[in-house]
Amino acid sequence: MDEQLLRYFSGQLTVSERLELILRIENDERLKAEFIRLQNLSAVSQLSPHPTDQSEGNTHFKTFISQVKQKSQRKLFVNIGKYAAIALILVASTIWATLRLADNAAPTMNTLFVPAGQRAQITLQDGTQVWLNAQSTLTYPSHFSRKNREVKITGEAFFDVAKDRKKPFIVSTQNVHVKVLGTQFNVYSYPGAGYIQTDLVEGSVKVYQTDNENNSTVLKPNEQVVVRGSSMIVSNINNPEHLLWKNGIYSFNNERLIDIITKLELYYDITIEVKDPETFNVRYTGKFRQRDGIDEILHILQKIQPFKILKDREKNIIILST
């Protein structure tokens, strides 16, 4: 017997715990069957819950016993079927009321943070899948409202949004919002990057800045928009493989080493000082595995552009010089 079910019917669960249980019931057929069985017993046992109804309840019970004794076996099954139907209606009504309560109750806000050098994947209450890159934070509710589905992201995340035309999915990041119904897209929004980038893989998204949805940009598949300040520049995705980060691979295509190093700072939460930035303007195309770590990646880059590496582990700083 599921312990949380027993606590539910004994009235020992908090509001957030009840919401958590409802979500489990929706996704577990065996648990749902057990819930209905217990709800059935509970509903039948509480048909006359008030003291003033006790005599009426006893009268109905005696009438039912009398019918059992007097009717034929076939008629008995018919009557049991009627009572079972009543019980099922009670169960359905109770489930509906519980779900309605869950929908109207204030959701619990959850936060998922991914540390440096790691990545994570989570499935939200509506079935939407989210992948988070290193040094990223996702803030999401325990359940969505009836009007929309809104989450907040800091860092980088890839979304595979469950379709629901009645409830748009909104990703908020800094002063930019991405609004969709059901699609696949990537959002890059590290606070220190100086820009916010959205790449669309499938479907369509509308990108707009806070309190200015009328001035928006709608992307088509294989397009990206880069937001800097109040400007929004749309272009084709020139390196689709940079989305491989959700599989643990960092891919760069004809990018300056200085820009790659800046991203590595974000991914691995380390300060990298470059003594002569001009010598790192050489462009590089290649892939790194996330699990290789910053040291191995820098040694690979050394083969493209020779430089010296000095580490200050106490201050978490790496100094690159020629």
Q: pLDDT tens-digit profile of 251-283? A: 998 888 888 888 888 888 889 988 888 878 888
The pLDDT, as a whole number, for residue 78 is 45
Cα 138 to Cα 153: distance, rounded to the nearest angstrom = 5
Please list the residue range(s) of the chain that carry CATH number 2.60.120.1440. Answer: 111-238
Contact (Cβ atoms closer than 8 angstroms) between residue 105 and residue 89:
no
Alpha helices (H) along 107-151 = none
For residues 111, 149, 182 and 92, what is the CA-based torsion angle, rounded to 10 degrees? 110
| Segments in the chain below pLDDT 50 | 40, 42-93
For domain 248-321, which CATH number applies: 3.55.50.30, 3.30.470.10, 3.20.20.70, 3.60.15.10? 3.55.50.30
272 neighbors 261 (Cβ within 8 angstroms): yes
pLDDT at 152: 94
pTM: 0.65
What pLDDT score does 77 carry?
A: 46
**Stretch(es) of the chain classified as CATH 3.55.50.30:** 248-321
Q: Which fold has domain 111-238?
A: Jelly Rolls (2.60.120)
Cα–Cα distance for residue pair 28/40, rounded to 1 Å: 18
Quote the CA–CA distance of 42 and 262 in Å, as a whole number: 61
Q: What is the mean pLDDT of the chain?
A: 77
Distances (CA, A) of 104 to 7, 163, 192: 22, 22, 38
End-to-end CA distance of the chain: give it in Å, rounded.
67
